[in-house]
Structure formats: structure tokens, C-alpha cells
Amino acid sequence: MTPKEKAEQLVDSFRNKIVKYLNAFMGIRNAKMCALICVDEIIDILELNGFSLQEYHDKGTLEYWLHVKDEIPIVANEMAEKYSNKNIKK
């Protein structure tokens, strides 16, 4: 799974749970924050266990999650834009 696909999966997963309580746009915003917190926790655990970019560059573990973190805001903005465009067309 690419970092972008993982970012989409995380944001969408949180959005589906949050949107029950908030409107869809606010759900996307909050889902983005939850996904970022989740990825930060994963990165912290990897760093605490001695994973570094230099040591595991070939395996891509830490680097992968750093790329996922970069993709989350992009994916969330794309989702929000789709939601806005969908509602404007109605």
C-alpha cells in the first residue's frame, strides 16, 4: 500500500466514525487530526525502538510512516474539496 493509499484509508476510517456525530466537513477535519495523531504515535514508537531513517531506509518502515504523515493533509483537503463541490452542485 502506498503512503497516499494508507493516508486515505486512515482519514476515511476516522471520518466514517466521526461523521455520525458531526457534519461531513467537520468530520473530515477531525479525521485528519486523528489520523495525524495515530501516525505520530507510530513514528514515536518506531523511534523509541531504535528505528531510524538511515538504518531502515531499505525497509522503509519509518520513512513510510513519515510519507503517510505528509499525505494525510493532502488527502483530507481532497476529501473536503469533493464534499464542498458535491454540496455546491445540489
For residue range 3-53, what is the model confidence (pLDDT) as tens digits?
899 999 988 888 877 766 666 667 788 889 999 999 999 888 888 887 766
Sequence-distant (≥ 6) Cβ neighbours of residue 62 within 8 angstroms: 43, 46, 47, 51, 52, 53, 56
**pTM for this predicted structure:** 0.71
pLDDT at 56: 54
pLDDT at 53: 63
- By the 8 A CB rule, do 43 and 65 touch? yes
pLDDT at 70: 96
